[in-house]
Structure 1
Amino acid sequence: MNHHGGGHRRKQYRGADDYDSHDRRRDTFDTPEQKLRKTIINLGEVDPVQELPRLASDIRAANEAATAAGGPAIPAITEGFRIGVTEQPFKIPYYAALLRLLHDPPAEAEENPPTDGSPTLGKQVLEDFWKGFQTFLDKLAWREIRLCIQFFAHCTMAGLVSSQTMFELFRSFTAVLQEFGVSHGRAMKAALSAAEGLMIAGPIMSKSGADVTEIITAISDYSESMTGSKNIVQPVVRLHEQSSTIEHADELLDSAIAALYVLKSSDFAQTADSFPQPYVEYPEFGSPPFELPSVLVPPEVIELDGLTTEAGEDAQVKKEEWPAYFVRLFDNDVTPDPTTPSGYAIRSAILDILDVFEVNRKECARLLLEYPKWTLHGTFKPRPGAPEQEPVPEKNWQLENSIIEITLGSIFLLPESTYRSIYYIALITEICKLSPQTVGPAVGKSIRKLYTLLSDGLDVEVAHRFAEWFSVHMSNFGFAWVWKEWAPDVSLSARHPKRRFVRKALEYEIRLSYFDRILKTLPEAMQTPEAQCMPEEAPGPEYDYDDPSKPYHDAAQSLLSLLRGRTKAEDVVSHLDSLKNSISETAEGNVNVSTVVRNIAVQSLLHIGNRSFSHFLNAIERYLPLLRNIASGGGAGATGGSNLEARLDILNAVANYWKRVRNMVVIVFDKLMQYQIVDPPDVVSWAFAYGGALTGAVGKSTFDSFQWDVLKGALDKANGRVTIARKKVTALRKEADDTAARAIATEGAAMEVDAEAKPDVMHASESPALTNALKAFATLTREQKAVLARTLDGFVGYLVAEGDANPTAAEVIAEKSWHNRINWNEVQWGTWETWCWFRHFCRAYSPYLRNYTQSLEEASLTKIGPSDPAVDLFKKTWNIATGQDV
Structure 2
Amino acid sequence: MSEIPFKNVAHSESLSLTSDDWDNNRRDAVESPEQRLKSAILKFGEVDAVEELPGLVKQIHAESTVLLPSSISEAVTEQPYKIPFYVALLRSLYDPSDVEGPPGAPPLARQILEDFWKGFQAYLDKLSWRDTRLCIHFFAHLTIAGIISADSMFGLLQSFTAVLDEFGVSHGRAKQAALCAAEGLMIAGQVLKQTSSSKVTDIMTAIQTYNDTTMTSRWIVLPLVHLHSTESNFNNVDELLDSLLLALKALDDSDFTETNNTYPQSYASFPALDSAEHPQFDLPSVLVPPEVIELDGLTNDDGEDVQVQKQEWPEYYIRLFDDEISPSPKTPLGYATRSTIVDVVDIFEVNRKECARLLLELPKWTSPGVFKPRPGAPAAEDPTPGPNWQLESTIIEVILGSLLVLPESSHKSLYYFGLITELCKLSPPTVGPAVGKSIRKLYTNLAEGLDVDVARRFAEWFAVHMSNFGFQWVWKEWIPDLSLDPQHPRRTYMRRAIEFEIRLAYHERIHKTLPPEMQDPASLTISEQPPGPNFEYDEADHVHHDAAQSVLNLLRGRAKPDDVIAELETLKSSLESSDTEHVDSVVRSIVVQSLLHIGARSFSHLLNAIERYLPLLRHIASAGVSSTGGSGNAEAKTDVLTAAATFWRQNGQLVGIVFDKLMQYQIVDPTDVITWTFANGGAVSDRNQHTSKYMSMYEWDLVKGALDKANGRVMIARRKVTALRKEDDETRARANARVGETMEVDADGKADELPASENPQLTAALKAFATLTREQKAALSCTLEGFVGALTNPDQRVQVQQVVSAAEWENRETWNSEQWSAWETWGWYRNFCRMYSPYLRNYSTTLYTISLSRFEGSSDPVEQLLHKTWNIAMGVE
- Structure 1-normalised TM-score? 0.94
Look up the SS of the partner of 2:450 in the other structure: coil
Residues 137-164 of structure 1, C-alpha deviation per residue, up to 9 Å, x if partnerless? 1111111101100010011011110111
Could you tell me how far 1:480 is from its partner in structure 2?
Answer: 0.5
Q: In the aligned structure 2, how far is the partner of 1:852 from the partner of 1:634?
A: 29
Cα gap change, 1:753/1:379 in structure 2, threshold over 3 Å: closer, same or farther? closer
The one of 374, 378, 387 aligned to 1:387? 378
Cα gap change, 1:284/1:815 in structure 2, threshold over 3 Å: closer, same or farther? same
Q: In the alignment, is the contact (CA less than 8 A) between 1:699 and 1:827 conserved in 2?
A: no
The one of 836, 844, 849 aligned to 2:840? 849
Look up the SS of the partner of 2:317 in the other structure: strand
Residues 288-335 of structure 1, C-alpha deviation per residue, up to 9 Å, x if partnerless? 211011111010011110102466543211111111111100000000
Q: In the aligned structure 1, how far is the partner of 2:4 from the partner of 2:413?
A: 49
Cα gap change, 1:569/1:346 in structure 2, threshold over 3 Å: closer, same or farther? same
Q: In the aligned structure 2, how far is the partner of 1:373 from the partner of 1:571?
A: 74
The one of 391, 394, 397 aligned to 2:389? 397
Q: In the alignment, is the contact (CA less than 8 A) between 2:740 and 2:751 conserved in 1?
A: no
**Aligned residue in 2 for 1:832:** 823
**Aligned residue in 1 for 2:571:** 579
1:234 and 2:222 matched: yes
Q: In the aligned structure 2, how far is the partner of 1:244 from the partner of 1:124?
A: 49
Q: In the aligned structure 2, how far is the partner of 1:597 from the partner of 1:401?
A: 58
Q: In the aligned structure 1, how far is the partner of 2:859 from the partner of 2:683?
A: 30
Look up the SS of the partner of 2:258 in the other structure: helix
Q: In the aligned structure 2, how far is the partner of 1:812 from the partner of 1:823?
A: 12
Could you tell me how far 1:441 is from its partner in structure 2?
Answer: 0.5
**Aligned residue in 2 for 1:809:** 800
Compare 238-247 and 284-293 and name the one that shifted more. Answer: 238-247
Residues 662-811 of structure 1 correspond to what in structure 2 (within 5 A)? 662-695=652-685, 696=688, 698=690, 700=692, 702-751=694-743, 761=754, 763=756, 766-800=758-792, 806-811=797-802
Compare 841-850 and 528-537 and name the one that shifted more. Answer: 528-537
Residues 213-612 of structure 1 correspond to what in structure 2 (within 5 A)? 213-286=201-274, 287-309=278-300, 312-389=303-380, 392-393=384-385, 395-588=387-580, 591-612=581-602
Q: Identify unmatched segments of 5+ residues in structure 1.
A: 64-71
Cα gap change, 1:97/1:254 in structure 2, threshold over 3 Å: closer, same or farther? same
1:190 and 2:183 matched: no
Could you tell me how far 1:518 is from its partner in structure 2?
Answer: 0.9
Could you tell me how far 1:243 is from its partner in structure 2?
Answer: 2.4
Cα gap change, 1:108/1:563 in structure 2, threshold over 3 Å: closer, same or farther? closer
Could you tell me how far 1:368 is from its partner in structure 2?
Answer: 0.6
Q: In the alignment, is the contact (CA less than 8 A) between 1:796 and 1:863 conserved in 2?
A: no
**Aligned residue in 1 for 2:82:** 91
**Aligned residue in 2 for 1:100:** 91
The residue identity in structure 2 corresponding to 1:62 is E
Residues 539-585 of structure 1, C-alpha deviation per residue, up to 9 Å, x if partnerless? 10000011001120000000000001111101111111111111111
Q: In the alignment, is the contact (CA less than 8 A) between 1:158 and 1:279 conserved in 2?
A: yes
Residues 820-852 of structure 1, C-alpha deviation per residue, up to 9 Å, x if partnerless? 111111111111111111000011000000110
Q: In the aligned structure 2, how far is the partner of 1:6 from the partner of 1:371?
A: 47
**Aligned residue in 2 for 1:618:** 608
Could you tell me how far 1:697 is from its partner in structure 2?
Answer: 5.0
1:114 and 2:103 matched: yes
1:859 and 2:850 matched: yes
Q: In the aligned structure 1, how far is the partner of 2:587 from the partner of 2:303?
A: 47
Residues 249-268 of structure 1, C-alpha deviation per residue, up to 9 Å, x if partnerless? 11111111110011111111
Could you tell me how far 1:221 is from its partner in structure 2?
Answer: 1.3
**Aligned residue in 2 for 1:181:** 168
Q: In the alignment, is the contact (CA less than 8 A) between 1:499 and 1:533 conserved in 2?
A: yes
Q: In the alignment, is the contact (CA less than 8 A) between 1:162 and 1:289 conserved in 2?
A: yes
Look up the SS of the partner of 1:852 in the other structure: helix
Compare 17-26 and 697-706 and name the one that shifted more. Answer: 17-26
Residues 89-168 of structure 1 correspond to what in structure 2 (within 5 A)? 89-108=80-99, 114-115=103-104, 118-168=105-155
Q: Identify unmatched segments of 5+ residues in structure 2.
A: none
Q: In the alignment, is the contact (CA less than 8 A) between 1:525 and 1:531 conserved in 2?
A: yes
Cα gap change, 1:128/1:614 in structure 2, threshold over 3 Å: closer, same or farther? same
Cα gap change, 1:114/1:401 in structure 2, threshold over 3 Å: closer, same or farther? same
Cα gap change, 1:740/1:522 in structure 2, threshold over 3 Å: closer, same or farther? same
Could you tell me how far 1:392 is from its partner in structure 2?
Answer: 4.7
Compare 867-876 and 87-96 and name the one that shifted more. Answer: 867-876
Q: In the aligned structure 2, how far is the partner of 1:581 from the partner of 1:26?
A: 83
Query: Identity of aligned pairs, percent?
Result: 57
**Aligned residue in 2 for 1:54:** 55
The residue identity in structure 1 corresponding to 2:845 is Q
1:30 and 2:19 matched: no
Q: In the aligned structure 1, how far is the partner of 2:853 from the partner of 2:677?
A: 22
The residue identity in structure 2 corresponding to 1:283 is P
1:208 and 2:190 matched: no
Q: In the alignment, is the contact (CA less than 8 A) between 2:301 and 2:770 conserved in 1?
A: no
Residues 750-789 of structure 1, C-alpha deviation per residue, up to 9 Å, x if partnerless? 336999x99784626x200000000000000000000000
Cα gap change, 1:579/1:470 in structure 2, threshold over 3 Å: closer, same or farther? same
Q: In the aligned structure 1, how far is the partner of 2:301 from the partner of 2:689?
A: 37
Could you tell me how far 1:874 is from its partner in structure 2?
Answer: 1.2
Could you tell me how far 1:642 is from its partner in structure 2?
Answer: 2.2
Compare 510-519 and 707-716 and name the one that shifted more. Answer: 510-519
Q: In the alignment, is the contact (CA less than 8 A) between 1:729 and 1:770 conserved in 2?
A: yes
1:648 and 2:638 matched: yes
**Aligned residue in 2 for 1:67:** none
Residues 189-245 of structure 1, C-alpha deviation per residue, up to 9 Å, x if partnerless? 110111111110111111112421111111111111111221111111121221243
Cα gap change, 1:688/1:31 in structure 2, threshold over 3 Å: closer, same or farther? same
Q: In the aligned structure 2, how far is the partner of 1:525 from the partner of 1:131?
A: 66
Could you tell me how far 1:641 is from its partner in structure 2?
Answer: 4.3
Q: In the alignment, is the contact (CA less than 8 A) between 1:310 and 1:852 conserved in 2?
A: no
Q: How many residues align?
A: 857
Could you tell me how far 1:51 is from its partner in structure 2?
Answer: 1.8
Compare 289-298 and 742-751 and name the one that shifted more. Answer: 742-751
